[in-house]
Amino acid sequence: MKTLYLAGGCFWGTQKYFDQFPGVLRTTVGYANGTTEHPSYEDVKKRHTGHAETVKVEFDETVLPVRTLLGYYFDVIDPFSVNRQGEDEGIQYRTGIYYDDETLVPAIREVFDAVQNRAERPLAVQVKPLAQFYDAEEYHQKYLEKNPGGYCHIPERMFHRTEEQS
């Protein structure tokens, strides 16, 4: 099992999006790479803790290679937007690929560089080691499963994907 921490805007939709792919074993929403310990949602939203809403994605690399997982990630974010995804704005909605396993860095760099090379301007996606990750409150976990029709910045067409769409 491997783990990546993916910040892609509001973590509700990002979690639902990654949960649909074979090879994803578990996802957890939380707060990454900020300046305070054990922040609450209110802290992150109102107290400028510097954390990003992030999804911890645990996956089986033999089923879902890192490059494929990151291809899905880039399919669903605006990689040029600074501190904003959809209607959500603020540093907590920045995009980032965070890792705690150095063996994943070559694949991360390969995908990032390929996307950057096709782009006409710099990407606003952070690629950094994970400084820390704190699980979000329970009511945020699988939020869109618990609250069908809840707000999501990711277009509905991105859910229920098939291999042909990838």
Q: Is residue 10 annotated as a catalytic residue, yes or no?
A: yes
Segment 71-106, tens digit of pLDDT: 999 999 999 999 999 999 999 999 999 999 999 999
In this predicted structure, what is the pLDDT of residue 149?
A: 87
What's the rounded Cα separation, in Å, for the pair 136 and 128? 20
Segment 34-61, tens digit of pLDDT: 999 999 999 999 988 999 999 999 999 9
Extract the tokens encoding 48. Answer: 């400028």
Work out the burial of residue 166: count CB atoms within 10 Å of its CB; fewer than 13 is exposed, 13-18 middle, 19 or more buried: exposed
For the cut 70, the answer to whether the pLDDT of residue 166 exceeds it is: no
The rounded distance, in Å, linking the Cα atoms of 10 and 85 is: 8
Average pLDDT on 106-119 reads 98
pLDDT the model gives residue 162: 52
The share of the chain scoring above pLDDT 90, in percent, equals 92
- Which residue type, as a one-letter code, is found at position 71? G
DSSP count for the chain of H helices, then E strands: 5, 8
pTM: 0.94
Helix (H) or strand (E) holding 31: strand 24-32
pLDDT (mean) for 60-76: 98
Q: What angle do CA 71, 76, 82 make, to 5 degrees?
A: 105
Catalytic choice (4, 7, 10, 55):
10
Distance CA 108, CA 71 (A): 10
At 161 the pLDDT is: 63
Q: Which two tokens stand for residue 100?
A: 């705690």
The bridge status of strand 52-59 relative to strand 88-89 is unpaired
Instruction: Write down the pLDDT at residue 148.
Output: 87
